[in-house]
Amino acid sequence: MNTPFTLGPLCLQNRIVRSATYEGFGDAEGCVSPELARLYAPFFQDSAGMVITGFTFVSEQGRAMHPRQCGMTSEAHSRAWKNVVAACHDQGSATRMILQLAHAGRQTLQRVTRQPVVGASNRRCTYFRETVEPATPHMLAQIIEDFAAAAARAQEAGFDGVQLHAGHGYLLHQFISPWTNTRADEWRAPEKLLRDIADAIRARCGRDFALLAKMSVADDRGLTPRRVAEVIAVTDFDGVELSYGTMEHALNIFRGGCPARDAFRVNPFFKRIPRLLRALALWRVRCWQKPFTPCYNLRDAQWIAARVQTPVWPVGGFRNTNDIAAALKSGMPLVSLCRPFIAEPHLLRQLQNWKSACVNCNRCAIYCDAPEALTCRKEFQHG
- Residue whose C-alpha is closest to residue 243's, from 322, 163, 301: 301
pLDDT at res. 379:
62
Residue 336 pairs in a beta bridge with 17, 315
pTM, two decimal places: 0.96
Asked if residues 112 and 63 have their Cβ atoms less than 8 Å apart, the reply is yes
Per the CB < 8 A criterion, the answer to whether 232 and 310 are in contact is yes
Pairing verdict, β 239-243 and 210-216: parallel
Tell whether the torsion through CA atoms of 237, 239, 245 and 251 is positive or negative.
negative
Q: Which one-letter amino acid corresponds to residue 187? A: W
- Cα(375)–Cα(295) distance, integer angstroms: 23
Q: What is the per-residue pLDDT for 383?
A: 34
Rounded distance between C-alpha atoms, residue 33 and residue 25, angstroms: 6
Q: Which residues, other chains included, contact 369 with Cβ-Cβ below 8 Å and sequence gap of 6+?
A: 65, 66, 266, 267, 268
DSSP string over 196-246: HHHHHHHHHH-TTSEEEEEEES--SSS--HHHHHHHHHTS--SEEEEE--B
pLDDT value for 376: 94
pLDDT tens for the chain, residues 1 to 383: 899 999 999 999 999 999 999 999 999 999 999 999 999 999 999 999 999 999 999 999 999 999 899 999 999 999 999 999 999 999 888 999 999 999 999 999 999 999 999 999 999 999 999 999 999 999 999 999 999 999 999 999 999 999 999 999 999 999 999 999 999 999 999 999 999 999 999 999 999 999 999 999 999 999 999 999 999 999 999 999 999 999 999 999 999 999 988 999 999 888 889 988 888 888 888 888 999 999 999 999 999 999 999 999 999 999 999 999 999 999 999 999 999 999 999 999 999 999 999 999 999 999 998 888 999 998 644 33
How far apart are the two ends of the chain, measured CA to CA in Å? 38
